[in-house]
Amino acid sequence: MTVRKGVSVGKILCGLGFVALMLCGCSTGESVIGASFYRTDPDTIGVVDIRGDIRRGAAENQVDDFFSMELMKKGYRVVERQRVRSLLAEQDFQQSDRTSAAEAAEIGRILNVPAVAMLDVHVDGDKVSMTCRLVDSQTAEVIFVGGGRGGSGQAMATVAGAIGGAAAGMQVSDRAAVAGGVLGGTAGHTLSPQAARVVQRAVQESVKDLPNR
């Protein structure tokens, strides 16, 4: 490696580190544990609502998988997604775009689980932010709120295009596909690999402070 006169190796390494950070992206998170969390002491959780820029389809399933995976790593049991969907259809829930805490709690009681999760995912350019709420199935009290944010570190609509397309079922042009990365599966139905990594990091950040079982 050739180092120009007057440029320190330290500055070069610092610059390389900055570039690496931009390429990999970054993520942050915060959370609040409610006073009633330990009284509820949930061991099993069902994801009853995923709202925001991801609704329905394979992209929603990916978000649910990421969230369920993080819960299981912490020792929680997770209700199978198909069982939740069957119940929602059977009980005629979610006729609106938003599920209230009281409705979520009612679903939790029918599922016979101590708590249910409600996820909210939003996209702003190349950044993703999400929140998760855990609701006590008996009292409808919110016992945990966690938030996570992640970015691709690139000034392009990679995440927005992939997630927005997944939500709206839009076709992605060749130019957008090249700029945003290769989409996994059919365009507009699944997250691109890059988008999936950003969403997964946001999910991880949102539950990192959730107590282990």
Nearest to 158 by CA among 194, 121, 109: 194
Angle in degrees, 0-180, between the axes of helices 193-207 and 57-73, rounded to the nearest 10: 40
Tokens 């409610």, residue located = 34
Assess contact for 213 and 207: CB atoms under 8 A: no
Question: From CA 2, how far away is CA 108, in angstroms rounded?
Answer: 63
| pLDDT per 10-residue tile (average), the chain, 213 residues | 43 37 61 95 95 77 94 96 86 67 92 96 83 97 95 52 51 35 44 84 94 95
- Cα 132 from chain centroid (whole Å): 8
- For the chain, the structural domain boundaries read 25-207
- Looking at residue 8, what is its pLDDT? 47
Assess contact for 92 and 22: CB atoms under 8 A: no
- Looking at residue 132, what is its pLDDT? 96
Question: From CA 195, how far away is CA 73, in angstroms rounded?
Answer: 22
- Looking at residue 148, what is its pLDDT? 94
Type of residue at 25: G
pTM: 0.74
- Looking at residue 90, what is its pLDDT? 81
Question: From CA 145, how far away is CA 206, in angstroms rounded?
Answer: 8
- Looking at residue 124, what is its pLDDT? 77
Q: With the C-alpha atoms ordered 66, 69, 71, 76, is the resulting torsion angle positive or negative? A: positive
Architecture field, domain 25-207? 3-Layer(aba) Sandwich (3.40)
From residue 155, how far is each of 16, 112, 113, 129, 211 by CA, in Å? 19, 45, 42, 16, 35
